[in-house]
């Protein structure tokens, strides 16, 4: 069997759901389980509704709910034609009535708890999975709706609940295997789950990839397909460098480093249950299904190129803390990090010298306050409009002379901070934001002009 996960943009409209159906049809003989996200933007809208309701703004919440309802009705109508839609409409209506009831309740209490948030957010996948199951059936795909909340069991850490794997694996097998034996195509909403007591939970934003990995690992899938709206992972952002190429195969660790530094395709950390079982994960494009995408595997493929990709993350601020006498003093670094923690600024890159420590954070409005706080213990400067550039590749491990080649390629571009991660598969440095396009072009020319055809398109 295999798992096919369709993200929000791959189910965003009737046209998108039609494309998804045709893709699933090509795999029916391989026993797919289909996992779907909410239609694009719906989870954000549900969150906004919940927040309005939590502030007592009942009418604003209900108004937004009405527009989401209309979008789902229109999509279902387009997919199903009047005959089936008339019957199915009642079912959708019941869901939306339940959502509105919930919003009214939240508004009456004037409080949105994490538990209620999960309940509100769950409607996105509950609705999309219902509509998609009907659409598949109407296209002669033997689909069967499975409520993920009956199979994926978590603790009660609402909004980022943690799966209880033993129970989840057993339930998934019990529920899905009989359907697969009868050649049915189970369709489940991603992202949603429940506690042992049947209270709805969610497993973190973007969690449908995680759902796909959980299901794939439980059922020992041959592979997991993550259907998105890009051709896969690229050597760099094609918007920055027109020579960017598709990466055909990449290791899990490399993909994880890239995700951290700005490649937005998916969060590989969520694929861990599958990777641990050696199940390959494919990132594929539902708008271009012929493209073979990117395969993510646990072991690094052998590759003649040093690096797999270059990622750049903009909107970075460098904070320099200078403390000539105190830097080595006991507890000083801790005091610095505690200040970052108090202001909820997550640190990406750190480098220290004898007298100073430089740290990078995503640019945000807390930085002036953070700096004022730090100024009590040291001299502080901060400078925005910086960018982190990160080169990733398993071959970095144990290849001498790479840093020299990287900095030679950069030429006169000014480098502010350098760090090589403990994972030994990334080389990271910080430059001015304005230098990013030129830096990426130079590095791409230096390291990707000749490509290993087994690894790159």
Binding mask of the shown chain, residues 201 to 240, with x at each position contacting ligand ASP by CB under 6 A? ----xxxx--------------------------------
Which of residues 190, 268, 280, 393 is near ligand ASP by CB under 6 A?
A: 190
d(CA 297, CA 281): 7
Question: Do residues 258 and 251 lie in contact, with contact meaning Cβ atoms separated by under 8 Å?
Answer: no
Q: Residue with the closest Cβ to Mg ion?
A: 206
- Longest CA–CA span in the chain (Å) reads 79
Bridge partners of residue 386, in order along the sequence: 316, 432
Binding mask of the shown chain, residues 188 to 217, with x at each position contacting Mg ion by CB under 5 A? ------------------x-----------
Q: Of 36-44, 68-76, 273-281, 424-432, which part binds ligand ASP (CB under 6 A)? A: 36-44
Instruction: Work out how close the CB of 190 gets to Mg ion at its nearest, in angstroms, rounded to a whole number.
Output: 9
- By the rule CB under 5 A, 7 interacts with Mg ion: yes
Helices (H), 268-392: 272-276, 332-342, 367-374
Q: Of 5-13, 137-145, 268-276, 403-411, which part binds Mg ion (CB under 5 A)? A: 5-13
120's contact among ligand ASP, Mg ion, none, with CB below 5 to 8 A by partner kind, is: none
Helices (H), 226-300: 252-260, 272-276
d(CA 302, CA 390): 21
Which of residues 8, 54, 186, 280 is near ligand ASP by CB under 6 A?
A: 8
- By the rule CB under 5 A, 124 interacts with Mg ion: no
Instruction: Work out how close the CB of 216 gets to ligand ASP at its nearest, in angstroms, rounded to a whole number.
Output: 15
What contacts 181, CB < 8 A, 6 or more positions away? none
User: According to CB under 6 A, which residues from 242 to 281 bind ligand ASP?
Assistant: none
Give the number of residues in contact with Mg ion, rule: CB under 5 A. 2
- By the rule CB under 6 A, 124 interacts with ligand ASP: yes
- By the rule CB under 5 A, 56 interacts with Mg ion: no
* 73-78, long-range: CB < 8 A, 24+ apart: 74/14, 75/13, 75/14, 75/17, 75/39, 75/131, 76/131, 76/134, 76/135, 78/14
Q: Measuring CA to CA, which residue among 354, 362, 346 is closest to residue 430?
A: 362
Question: Do residues 128 and 5 lie in contact, with contact meaning Cβ atoms separated by under 8 Å?
Answer: no
Which of residues 191, 260, 261, 448 is near ligand ASP by CB under 6 A?
A: 191
Cβ proximity to ligand ASP, 206 vs 437, nearer residue:
206
Q: How does strand 200-202 pair with strand 185-189?
A: unpaired
Structure tokens at 255: 């993909």
In the DSSP assignment, the letter for residue 448 is S
Sites of contact with Mg ion (CB under 5 A): 7, 206
Sites of contact with ligand ASP (CB under 6 A): 7-8, 37-38, 43, 124, 190-191, 205-208
């Amino acid at each position: 069997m295999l798992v096919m996960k369709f993200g929000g943009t791959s189910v965003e409209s009737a046209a998108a759901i039609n494309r998804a159906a045709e893709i699933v049809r090509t795999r029916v003989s391989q026993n797919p389980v289909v996992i779907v996200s909410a239609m694009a933007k719906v989870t954000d809208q549900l969150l906004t509704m919940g927040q309005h309701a939590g502030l007592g703004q009942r009418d604003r919440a209900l108004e937004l709910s009405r527009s989401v309802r209309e979008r789902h009705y229109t999509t279902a109508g387009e997919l199903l034609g009047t005959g089936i839609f008339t019957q199915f409409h009642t079912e959708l209506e019941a869901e939306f009535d339940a959502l509105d009831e919930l919003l009214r309740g939240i508004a009456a209490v004037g409080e949105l708890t994490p538990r209620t948030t999960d309940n509100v957010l769950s409607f996105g996948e509950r609705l999309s999975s219902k509509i998609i199951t009907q659409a598949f059936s109407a296209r002669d795909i033997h689909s069967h709706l499975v409520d993920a909340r009956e199979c994926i069991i978590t603790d009660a850490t609402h909004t980022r609940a943690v799966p209880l794997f033993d129970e989840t694996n057993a339930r998934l097998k019990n529920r899905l295997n009989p359907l697969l034996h009868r050649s049915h195509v189970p369709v489940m909403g991603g992202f949603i789950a429940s506690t042992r007591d049947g209270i709805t939970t969610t497993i973190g934003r973007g969690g449908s990839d995680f759902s796909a990995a959980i299901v794939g690992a439980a059922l020992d899938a041959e592979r997991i397909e993550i259907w998105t709206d890009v051709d896969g992972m690229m050597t760099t952002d094609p918007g920055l460098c027109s020579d960017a190429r598709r990466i055909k195969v990449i290791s899990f660790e490399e993909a994880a480093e890239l995700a951290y530094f700005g490649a937005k395709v998916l969060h590989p950390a969520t694929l861990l249950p599958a990777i641990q079982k050696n199940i390959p994960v494919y990132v594929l494009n539902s708008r271009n299904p012929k493209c073979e995408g990117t395969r993510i595997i646990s072991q690094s493929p052998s590759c003649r190129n040093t690096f797999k990709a270059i990622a750049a993350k903009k909107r970075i601020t460098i904070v320099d803390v200078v403390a000539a006498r105190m830097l080595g003093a006991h507890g000083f670094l801790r005091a610095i990090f505690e200040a970052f923690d108090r202001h909820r600024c997550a640190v990406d890159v750190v480098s220290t010298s004898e007298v100073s420590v430089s740290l990078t954070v995503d640019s945000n409005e807390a930085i002036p306050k953070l700096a004022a706080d730090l100024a009590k213990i040291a001299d502080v400067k901060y400078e925005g409009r910086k960018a982190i550039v990160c080169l990733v590749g398993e071959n970095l491990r144990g290849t001498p002379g790479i840093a020299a080649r990287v900095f030679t390629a950069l030429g006169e571009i000014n480098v502010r901070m350098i760090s090589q991660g403990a994972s030994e598969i990334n080389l990271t440095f910080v430059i001015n934001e304005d230098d990013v396009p030129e830096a990426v072009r130079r590095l791409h020319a230096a390291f990707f002009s000749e490509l290993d055809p087994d690894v790159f398109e």
